[in-house]
Structure 1
Amino acid sequence: MFVLDSRLEQDTLLLGDFPLCRLLLMNDAQYPWFILVPRREEISELFQLDAADQLALWNEATALAETVKDTFGADKMNVATLGNVVGQLHMHVIARRRDDAAWPAPVWGRHPAKPYSDEQVAAIRDKLKLVLTDHFRFGV
């Protein structure tokens, strides 16, 4: 049974589910920063997924990155699986802009997070609802 890592649960907001991955929004309004988490038990590394799930993760990540780049006007997309703090496999999909708070450095550890307001989260959901495919289910 899939259980989201407590640190991810604490630091993010649930947006919904793709066929394989849960889509989360990092609760830091300084960056459009999304996280995909494959809904599989006890997976910490990409190579632990079977071939079909590896392909699904890559397809979901690239489709999300393209959508986020276009929707949020990114200058550069950062897509990576970094799990030094959180062991559960997760993929960061971050829209970077030359005028963001951390550019050109990495976003983590640079500045304290600025949590989203309810209105900001609703606006992001509304933007994504216009562009995400029928294969995506928005959460509550």
Structure 2
Amino acid sequence: MTQGQKFRLHERLAADTISMGRTRLCEVRLMNDKTWPWVLLVPALAGIREIYEMSVEQQQMLIQESSVLSRGMMEAFSGDKMNVAALGNMVPQLHLHHIVRFEGDPAWPGPVWGRQAPVPYDENSLVGVRRALAPVLSVLDVV
């Protein structure tokens, strides 16, 4: 992290996701694609591109938050597989994707990226996904 630099969410993440709040470490963002339950954790640390650039304490907190989110999403959506990835090829800011996958979903068993155009949430489906995620966000102490 560069001295004096302040955390700012990458513009692509801001455009493609919906804020769900913040944990002690991360911005919690819902991918605006209702095809899959898909949540991102974005460590609120300026200038971080890779997990190894974080302190050991921050790394442990990220893994703990990711694990809680993964378990909660699988319970909420009864998925067949949880995909967790930190690619960063398009957006260099460190962010972890958490995607609940289902056998027979539009991209199964391949990756979701580039498979189809995103299907944005409408107001009703956004209310539903927020309701489904509420228990895990509560455990994560999202504010």
Amino acid at match of 1:136: V
- Counterpart of 1:114 in structure 2 is 119
In structure 2, relative to structure 1, the CA distance for the partners of 1:90 and 1:114 (3 Å cut) is same
- Secondary structure at the residue paired with 1:126? helix
- Counterpart of 1:105 in structure 2 is 110
The size of the alignment, in residue pairs, is 137
Runs of 4 or more, structure 1, over 2 Å off, are: none
Which ranges of structure 1 fall in alignment gaps of 5 or more residues? Answer: none
CA contact (8 A) 2:23 2:140 kept: no
- Counterpart of 1:86 in structure 2 is 91
Tell me which moved more, 93-102 or 126-135.
Answer: 126-135
Cα distance in 1 for residues equivalent to 2:77 and 2:140: 20
- Counterpart of 1:73 in structure 2 is 78
- Please give the residue correspondences for 1:1-140 in structure 2 after superposition, counting only pairs within 5 Å: 1-131=6-136, 132-133=138-139, 135-137=141-143
User: What's the TM-score, normalizing by structure 2?
Assistant: 0.92
Aligned residues: CA RMSD: 1.0
Measure how far apart 1:99 and its partner are: 2.3
Tell me which moved more, 16-25 or 128-137.
Answer: 128-137
Cα distance in 1 for residues equivalent to 2:49 and 2:116: 27
Cα distance in 1 for residues equivalent to 2:132 and 2:83: 20
Residue deviations 1:63-117 (CA, integer Å, cap 9, x gap): 0000000100110000111100100000000000012111111001011110011
In structure 2, relative to structure 1, the CA distance for the partners of 1:134 and 1:78 (3 Å cut) is closer
- Secondary structure at the residue paired with 1:28? coil
Identity of aligned residues (%): 40
Which ranges of structure 2 fall in alignment gaps of 5 or more residues? Answer: 1-5
- Secondary structure at the residue paired with 1:37? strand
